[in-house]
Structure 1
Amino acid sequence: ELIGLLDRLGAVYLDTGENRGLVPDDHPSVVGAMRGAVMGDADVVLTVGRKLDFQLAYGSPAVFKDAKFVRISDSASELRDNRRGAAEILASPAETLRAMVALAGNRESAVDRQWAAKLRAGHQERAAKLKQSMAAAPAGSDGRLHPNRVLSALQDAIGNDAVVITDGGDFLSFARVGLSAPLMLDPGPFGCIGIGVPYGIAASLAFPDRPVVVATGDGAFGFNAIEVDTAVRHKAPVLIVVANNGAWQIEVHDQTVTHGKVVGTKLQFADHAAMARAFGMHAERVETAEQLGPAIKRALANRPALLDMVVTPEAVSSDAKTGLAWVPDLQPLAAWDEAERKWRGT
């Protein structure tokens, strides 16, 4: 129904963490890499079954400026938070979208097609640059792989029908940008890390004929690492990819910059592959770019499987730079806060 509405309108589309993959990346409405421009330019914003949380600047008029909001949800709390809509419809989102298309009949869409095309072109250009930079991401001075190099190889291998679960803090920051699939899960905006392995086991049992991949940081993996035993016992066809940087890296970066001292946030470069093999799982430790492709191919063919990817802690994620560790100064809402200060002239 959502894709039907986008096709009918020619409108542009922004996803958030909860609905990644719902609209395919190759759909002409997808313009996620141009998020800031879309928010600033839009005349009408349609929210479908979601709150206006920090991912959408809480609907701030300093960010969305003169936009009118149309809000659709089957939950009242997703209609009335932070910014009321010019129209608010409490109903099934799917049925509402279907009815909107039907009632529109042959009426011409008012979407500015030139504006939409420009956004799409900008999105594609940025996406192509990201893909190239990820594939060529240099190793750290320690010789260890960059997380983006791992994600690039993984994306190339899993195809267009995968189920992907991303988990962690630092590595999740890389993976939420670097991986794409029709079905994606992560801990959610206020969820707990460590969900990767159990989510992946369940997903692989629900979709045994599709590649199911868990991309997790080593810290998050530790929460439920013992569940590799569950995966083996239940023959769950899941691939677990652990980005092993030997640290709670967001916290390490925060402590280093803020205090000049690191306490309690360094981990071992533990051999997670050896642990997985002890439970009877196919597992390999990957330390070089040359090993990446062949190891991923073997792992996908021998699931359940685990790949222990040794990555450099020198790679600084976006969340480490301006993310959740820096409470409250540089949380994801910092950009919106700055926009409001300028808007109010304070």
Structure 2
Amino acid sequence: MNTLVQTEFTTSDALVKELIRAGVTQAFGIVSIHNMPIYDAILREGSIQLITARGESGAVNMADGYARATGKLGVVITSTGTGAGNAAGSLVEAWSAGVPVLHITGEVASPYLGTGRGYIHECKDQLSMMKGACKEAFRLRQPEQVVPLIRHAVSEASTAPVGPVTVEIPIDYQSAIIPEVMIESGDYAIKGKEIPLNINKGIVTKVTAARRPVIWAGGGVISSGSSNEVQALAELIGAAVITSQSGKGSIPEDHPLCIGHFAAHQPVRELLEKADLLISVGVRFRSNETAGWEVSVPKDHISIDIDCQAINRNYDVTHGLVGDAKSILKQLMEALSIQSITPDQNYINEVGSVRNQVRAALRETLGPYEAFVDGMRRLLPQDTILVRDVTVPANVWGSRLFDIYQPRTSIHASGGGIGQGLPTAIGAQIGQKDRKVVLMAGDGGFMVNVGEMATAVQEQLPLIIILFDDAGYGVLRNIQDAAYGRRVAVDLLSPDFVMLAKSMGFTAERVGSPEAFVSQLETAISYKGPSMIVVDMEAVGPMAKPFGGPPGAAKAFQPKKLGR
């Protein structure tokens, strides 16, 4: 007798069929009494690989990392109440980064919704909690409507502004017998990709006339697949290219026109003040990347964004082009192709000088860690996916001096939450099994989701973890030092990370010098399984200049009177 056969067609079966139609091949999560029918339907169907996380928070991060590394939909399945609540923080990260994630969660049995009777895993108002953490959240109201609801949720997650969407399915609905129906429609439509009818002549004139243009490339360049178009435009008009964190890899960072993720650094701020045109592509202009929006931008500002609500949100725009960046840039290039454009070579030389200046100035602050970044970039393949948790080395040089050459090979915590790096890296490695995935993390943040090391081992992933151990919350230490001259709640007692890693099934070594680090990294690259390099930051020694947090961070915490 085949125990996987089920003769009746259920809501869960319909859900699985719809996921497969959407192209889903992997799903992350934790099985529970409130999602077991869905898990069983996935098992019986057999096409979707299930990756079991050790916590719902980590499961969402894995789906997030998978989506960022592949460009596909990330799918995560969690339980009700506490399980859904555990997922909420990581869903906020996916929302902040604009990542297409479908979160499927159970709910209590439909007769008990909102009754407060103490049904197991009951939450007072789970749907509102999910709406607060996600782009949108829906509850299945009738089992027979599961197919159109999932189809709508997938489309919503992929529609500008892209973001995570939750679907709640009460547990009694999951096993409900329903008619098997096929809704005939085209492929999942991603709305908002309309191509403008034409590029305004005024825009063409401004671009053609600009002598000191700047392109600010954001995460929208990566998600729209418009990297080639951005590079071509920069080369055509001789524009400096600065990037947001999310926009790293928009063009190769060794390109002479690419200044990179240095917008708030003084030489770049001065370049922007003297610029006569800004073309921003898919940029949110986050506070921590613009020194609290104190970075000045040119009066003439052409904004290209698929989200119409992004226009004028943080900086004034003179010309807003709303739609798919790739389509718009192609049309802009066509309009410019008949123009006579001669880039200003003196300005191009100035851009190269600024590019070298900000990198050299940052290198002077690193002390012994300069050899770390150089060793990593020299040894790691160009298509390595670098995932960065919130930690001093990642913030200072991992996000700026480690050159990124391709889209979707730079992943960081957009929302600034610590501890999400490990599961995010696991998701990226699941999605890109043939690439090297390297995680930069600090000891404080790493302990948040440390249990996910077991997931990496169980899935036999060749993940490389570089753990910078300074026995505390290093970023906050430095901000407290700068703001108050004293510290509180930032010193931590950590385990022996090498012993911990080995007990989990990792190979691991502790290093205390740049030379030992580079040697151990070379060994880890050749190893086929998961590995960890623990960097003893006390033994390595301090940076030449302490990191005081993002520009203006210390100032923000000084006592001040607020206006009425």
Taking structure 2 as the reference length, the TM-score comes to 0.52
Say whether 1:172 aligns with 2:400.
no
What does 1:1-346 correspond to in 2, within 5 Å? 1-32=229-260, 34-54=267-287, 55-56=289-290, 63-64=296-297, 66-109=298-341, 111-124=343-356, 126-127=358-359, 134=366, 137-138=367-368, 147-174=369-396, 175-181=398-404, 182=406, 183-188=409-414, 190-256=415-481, 258-259=483-484, 261-268=486-493, 270-302=495-527, 303-312=529-538, 314-315=542-543, 317-320=546-549, 322=551, 324=553, 327-328=556-557
Q: 1:47 to 1:110 in 2, by over 3 A?
A: farther
Matched AA of 2:491: K
Q: Percent identity?
A: 20
**Bigger CA drift: 244-253 or 196-205?**
244-253
Q: Which has the higher contact order (CA 8 A, sep 6+)?
A: 1
- The count of residues paired between Structure 1 and Structure 2 equals 317
Contact in 1 for aligned 2:482/2:554 (Cα 8 Å): no
Q: Are 1:72 and 1:89, in contact at CA under 8 Å, matched by a contact in 2?
A: yes
Q: Distance in 2 between matches of 1:260 and 1:306?
A: 34
Instruction: Describe the superposition over 1:139-188 as per-residue Cα deviations: whole angstroms up to 9, x where unpaired.
Output: xxxxxxxx444333222221322110111242332222332323111111
Q: Which one-letter code corresponds to 1:155 in the other structure?
A: R
The 8 Å contact of residues 359 and 401 in structure 2, kept in 1 or not, is answered as no
1:287-309 deviations in Å (ceiling 9; x for gaps):
23331222111111223111111
Where does the alignment leave 5 or more consecutive residues of structure 1 unmatched? 139-146, 331-346
Q: What is the alpha-carbon root mean square deviation over aligned residues?
A: 2.7
Q: 1:344 — aligned with what?
A: none
Specify the code of the residue in structure 2 equivalent to 1:108.
S
In structure 1, what residue type is equivalent to 2:417? Answer: C
Structure 1 Cα separation of the partners of residues 332 and 516 of structure 2: 51
Cα pair 1:150 1:309 within 8 Å, conserved: no
Q: Distance in 1 between matches of 2:384 and 2:427?
A: 14
Q: 1:63 to 1:108 in 2, by over 3 A?
A: same
User: Which is further off, 105-114 or 81-90?
Assistant: 105-114
Change over 3 Å in CA distance of 1:130–1:255 after alignment to 2: closer
Cα displacement (A) at 1:85? 1.8
Following superposition, the deviation at residue 223 of structure 1 comes to 1.1
CA deviations 1:264-293 (Å, max 9, x no partner) are 211236421211110111111112333122
* Cα distance change on mapping 1:323 and 1:233 into 2, 3 Å: farther
Distance in 1 between the 2:551 and 2:430 partners? 37
Q: Which amino acid aligns with 1:151?
A: V
- Corresponding position of 1:341: none
1:80 is paired with a residue of what secondary structure?
Answer: coil
1:310–1:98 distance in 2 versus 1, CA, 3 Å: same
- 1:258 to partner: Cα distance: 4.9
Is the 1:155–1:180 Cα contact (8 Å) retained in structure 2?
A: yes
How far is the alpha carbon of 1:320 from its aligned partner? 3.9
Give how far 1:314 is off: 4.0
What is the CA distance between 1:219 and its match in structure 2?
1.0
- Which deviates further from its counterpart, 72-81 or 285-294? 285-294
Alpha-carbon separation, structure 2, partners of 1:155 and 1:218: 23
Q: TM-score, normalised by structure 1?
A: 0.82
Q: Cα deviation per residue 1:92-146 (whole Å; 9 max; x = unaligned)? A: 1110001100121231226433212221133135535755875xx24xxxxxxxx
Shift of 1:325: 5.9
Over residues 186-243 of structure 1, what are the superposed CA-to-partner deviations in whole Å (9 max), with x where a residue is unaligned?
111x331111111111111222222210011111111111111110100122101000
DSSP 3-state at the match of 1:263: coil
SS of the residue corresponding to residue 240 of structure 2 reads coil
Over 3 Å counting, the alpha-carbon distance change for 1:112 and 1:37 in structure 2 is farther
Question: Does the 8 Å contact 2:385/2:436 carry over to 1?
Answer: yes
User: How far apart, in 1, do the equivalents of 2:374 and 2:443 lie?
Assistant: 18
The amino acid across from 1:72 in the alignment is I
Task: Mark the structure with the bigger radius of gyration.
Answer: 2
CA distance in 2, matches of 1:275, 1:162: 26
| Contact 1:148–1:178 (8 Å) recurs in 2 | no
- Maintained 8 Å contact 1:273/1:285: yes
1:335 is matched with none
Separation in structure 2 between the aligned mates of residue 253 and residue 57 of structure 1, nearest angstrom: 17
Which ranges in structure 2 are unaligned for 5 or more consecutive residues?
1-228, 560-564
Give the superposition deviation at 1:262: 3.3
Displacement of 1:257 in angstroms is: 5.2
Alpha carbons of structure 1 residues 323 and 210: separation in structure 2 relative to 1, 3 Å: farther
